[in-house]
A and B are shown apart, each in its own frame.
Chain A
Amino acid sequence: MTGARMDTLARLRGRIARLEATDGAHDLRRVALGHDEADAVLQGGLATGALHEVFAESGRQAVAATGFLCGLAARVAARRPLIWIRQDFAEREMGALSMSGLAELGLDPRRIVVVRTPDLDHALRTAADALACDALGGVMLEVWGETQKLDLVASRKLTLVAQESGVTALLLRIAAAPEPSTAETRWMVRSAPSPAVAPWMAWGAPRLDAELIRNRHGQTGRWIMEWTPDACRFSEPAADPQPVAAAPAHRSHQASAGPHRRSA
């Protein structure tokens, strides 16, 4: 290799190193989700001042993804106001955001400002504007369906503004396939059945099958998470919530464990 080429290569390497240094130098504050395994993979929790994407693969999983997003927002907001940006038609498609429902999840409706935009261009512009305002706890942007407008450039813009102000950007993509972006994490969320408990037990707390499909600074994973509205945090599903009414699946497991214990 000639000297000139080595030179170019060294210069490029230097430039990449500089780019990476500025990227990493920004110390991201992390907020633990409450789910230990997920927090370990995320190296302490969800990074604030970054872009996070939550995907629902189809319309029917939209509400699970919304619930997960609400959970993330409640974790990172820390009692500061939130801005929720959505498009006009989203209301007709999958229902309006119910303030009582948000309150039931542990989010305070008094601190939520909802912005309805006529189209995605306005939504992106508004999101970038809102992210620059460091009085906010988070900016949620709800985007329905596949779109060309949320490309690398758009997500890079959001990321940069979020880094600058330290406000977390939470992007909810419904009925869309993941595309390359500059998001810090990307989640695919589905709803998970409630644990098999006796019919008189309280069931129906948000129980989500959250799959971390991209993590810029670590590994990925897939967990069943429960959102506890009272504590305002995620948690591992209780292993055996009601032993009296254990599901048949548990019984076969116990049966196989039984002889093993006797032989020991």
Chain B
Amino acid sequence: MRHGVSLGQPLANARAVCPDLVAHEADLAADAKLLEDIADWCDRFTPLVALDPPHGLSLDITGCVHLFGGEAKLMQSVCDALTAHGLTVSAAIASNAVCARTLNRQLHGRIVPDGEEAAAVAPLPVAALGGSEAITLGLRRAGLKTIGDVASRGRNEITARFGAAFTRVLAQALGEADAPISPRKVPPDYIVDKRFAEPVATDTVIAASLSSLATMLVAAMAQQGKGARRLEACFFRTDGLVRVIAVDTGQPVTEAAVIDRLFRERLEALNDPLDPGFGFDMIRLAAGRSEIVVQQQRDLDAHVHDNDELSALIDRIAARIGGKRVVVHLPVDTHIPERAALPLPAQQHLTATSTAAWPERHDGEPPLRPLRLFARPEAIQVIAGVPDGPPARFVWRRAAHAVVRAEGPERIAMEWWRPDGQGLTRDYFRVEDEHGLRFWLYRDGLYDRELEQPQNGLPVQPAWYMHGLFA
């Protein structure tokens, strides 16, 4: 501004005005990231923060103003903190987001009381409504310089000329219609937080604060008979960085000690440990998802108790190494061996699997499915006595095995009705080699039907694969 350069000016003009101008390409991704970070930081004021790209944020401060000593003080503290981080801020408070944004495009620091929106925005130029270039230009050409001018015209005229979307924005800016924001995060069910006059940085203080927050959270949930299924701890650093650490649980948690232990496990196992920097000035604990706790009779049914203990253990392990690493399996109704079991996170699916129906084994039969199964069958070289008979010798992982016993084929056809089921039919053989090692291998494709005869008269060479190992 000082050198006559302004926003929206073409680069050539700006260069003409200020010859030693240093130009950088706009890094939109970095801008978006910064906006996200600021939005994270704004979580300390309200859980309802919406992005207004490219450069704006909308905060729904309904009901949390009193915590900061009034609207003016709240706005002041937001602006002061952001200015301290080197940002240029302008802010406005109004009864809806569009009205506040309209004010904000022209003025800084306006607080509009309820019912005075129309008066507040009337003197502003039409560009403040944020319509497209064509609309703004069209309004100016029609002689409508300010929002008040536009508002004085009949709405049907405006709609006919500029479209219904513009009329809606106009109505919102005038405070006639509501303009709900879409917050970035779903507001958690329960929130407790702790602010520190002096930033805290030591592990013991952080752990103690978390414990006391856990107690507060549990007390809040207990009043409504709820337990937490997802817990989030937010650590607000003094330099504006916010770190969120979430822990999921399989059963609703109702005990502060359990919350405390889960977070201890999680914090210990973090790949990039919690870095307090110059300290945290606020720690927040939220129950992102909560459920009604069904009180069960414990003493008479030991089984219920056992399941509780198991799910508590699974929660602890999952908190440390991640929920996807603790799995239970559900049977899948298919003949394809590698798809017969579906691994699912144990936290969410423990009860579902405990009632699943697995195929019954046939009494008197040896195991017909291998104990270890290769997710990707391994190619082997095979010498078979007769073309579609069992193998006589095979080489797997560079070791030769002579087949002593073989049983098969067990023919498994691919699921042609699926999009990914176009493979060849497999003939499985259960074989045992001279050392008593038992394998499960298959020939890919049927002679005559699926395997094509080469034109030069050579015999067909089917592919063989090692798929599993029997005990």
Contact = CB atoms under 8 A, between A and B. Distances in A.
Nearest to B265: A129
Interface stretch (B109-117, B198-206, B363-371): B363-371
A192 interface: yes
Interface string A179-196: 000000000001111100
Interface in B344-365: 346, 350, 353-356, 358-359, 361, 363-365
SS class, residues of chain B in contact with chain A = mixed
A117 B337 CA distance: 25
Given A63-B471, A114-B328, A206-B470, A101 B372 contact: yes
Contact of B369 (A104, A129, A193, A199): A104
A68 B321 CA distance: 28
B367 A133 contact: no
Contacts of A61: 437
Contact of A103 (B317, B320, B361, B436): B361
B471 to A, nearest CB: 2
A214 interface: no
A207 B327 contact: no
Contacts of B407: 199, 203-204
A99 B337 CA distance: 10
A163 interface: no
A176 B405 CA distance: 30
Contacts of A109: 329, 331, 341, 358
A183 B434 CA distance: 33
Given A63-B471, A96-B375, A122-B321, A103 B358 contact: yes
Contacts of A80: 306
Interface string B77-110: 0000000000000000000000000000000000
Contact of B343 (A114, A136, A208, A229): A114
The number of chain A residues touching the other chain, given as a range, is 35 or more
A10 interface: no
Given A115-B325, A202-B365, A191 B359 contact: no
A95 B313 contact: no
A98 B309 contact: no
Given A130-B313, A229-B361, A115 B340 contact: no
Interface in A69-91: 70, 80-81, 83, 91
Nearest to A207: B436
B325 A117 contact: yes
A112 interface: yes
A64 B317 CA distance: 29
A125 B319 CA distance: 13
B5 to A, nearest CB: 53
A204 B269 CA distance: 44
B432 interface: yes
Q: Which of A83, A110, A112, A199: most chain B CB closer than 10 A? A: A110
A104 B361 contact: yes
A192 B361 contact: no
A104 B370 CA distance: 8
A114 B327 contact: yes
A204 B373 contact: no
Interface of B: 269, 305-307, 309-310, 312-314, 316-317, 320-321, 325-329, 331, 337, 340-341, 343, 346, 350, 353-356, 358-359, 361, 363-375, 399, 404-405, 407, 430, 432, 434-438, 468-471
Complex A-B, nearest 7 residue pairs according to Cβ-Cβ distance, in ascending order = A67-B471, A95-B372, A104-B367, A193-B436, A98-B373, A99-B341, A135-B306
